[in-house]
């Protein structure tokens, strides 16, 4: 689908400089465009695979996380993960909508029906973005040493679905796939539609 508008200028201005950690090939960018959108492919062309907001948010190649996405079906659809948070939560494209999936709290929220609008408007709303990083204050000490590696995430211990809390649980850096595998066994996602 052709872009409704180019969200990159507003995204780049709001997020600030990207911390690029890898440069995808042209073939990888083409595949990401087929899976997600032209606007996401443009973001990859401009910034590469990168972290933003002091390591809180990261772009990923959807084709590299198909095994993780399969753990979290959304109404029978397997999403195309295109961004993750330092907590392993993610944004994906599934069934014609952008979704936010909180693997830490086991819910998924249907957001908007356009990646362009997600990247150029919703994600740039300060209140919305702040809500995705509840508990980040405790993570700032870990993030001060740099964001988790692309194959890592922060995990609450004990996990929130096991009675842990953002106030009392410890935060540990864990392997991304192992963290998702563990959390996916703690219950099913609650789906929220607006």
Give domain limits for the chain: 8-134+187-192
**pLDDT value at residue 1:** 60
Alpha helices in 58-189 (DSSP H): 66-70, 115-120, 126-131, 136-143, 176-184
Q: What are phi and psi of 93, to 5 degrees?
A: -110, 120
DSSP state of 88: S
Q: Is the pLDDT higher at 59 or at 3?
A: 59
**Lowest mean pLDDT, pick from 5-14, 36-45, 100-109, 140-149:** 140-149
Q: What would the mean pLDDT of 6-12 be, rounded to a whole number?
A: 92
At 130-188, the pLDDT tens digits run 777 766 666 777 777 888 999 999 999 999 999 988 877 888 999 999 999 999 999 99
Q: What would the mean pLDDT of 123-129 be, rounded to a whole number?
A: 85
Angstrom distances, CA of residue 84 to CA of 5, 50, 59: 23, 11, 7
Token pair in block for residue 117: 């609008």
- Residue found by looking up tokens 């052709």 in the block: 2
At 37-85, the pLDDT tens digits run 999 999 999 999 999 988 889 999 999 999 999 999 998 889 999 999 9
**pLDDT value at residue 109:** 94
Model-level pTM? 0.93
User: Which residues does residue 192 pair with via DSSP β-bridges, in sequence order?
Assistant: 109
Q: What would the mean pLDDT of 6-32 be, rounded to a whole number?
A: 95
From 193, 191, 184, select the one nearest 69 (Cα to Cα). 184
**pLDDT value at residue 153:** 95
**pLDDT value at residue 91:** 96
**pLDDT value at residue 133:** 72
**pLDDT value at residue 178:** 97
């Amino acid at each position: 689908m052709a872009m409704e508008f180019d969200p990159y200028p507003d995204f780049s201005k709001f997020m600030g400089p990207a911390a690029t950690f890898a440069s995808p090939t042209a073939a990888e960018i083409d595949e990401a465009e087929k899976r997600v959108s032209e606007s996401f492919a443009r973001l990859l062309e401009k910034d590469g695979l990168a972290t933003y907001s002091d390591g809180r948010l990261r772009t990923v190649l959807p084709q590299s996380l198909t095994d993780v996405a399969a753990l979290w079906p959304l109404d029978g659809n397997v999403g195309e993960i295109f961004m993750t948070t330092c907590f392993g939560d993610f944004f994906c494209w599934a069934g014609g909508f952008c979704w936010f999936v909180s693997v830490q709290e086991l819910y998924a929220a249907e957001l908007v029906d356009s990646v362009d609008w997600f990247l150029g408007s919703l994600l740039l709303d300060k209140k919305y973005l702040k809500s995705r990083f509840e508990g980040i204050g405790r993570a700032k000490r870990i993030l001060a040493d740099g964001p988790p590696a692309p194959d890592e995430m922060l995990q609450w211990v004990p996990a929130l679905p096991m009675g842990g809390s953002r106030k009392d649980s410890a935060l540990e850096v864990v392997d991304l796939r192992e963290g998702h595998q563990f959390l996916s066994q703690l219950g099913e996602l609650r789906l929220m539609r607006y």
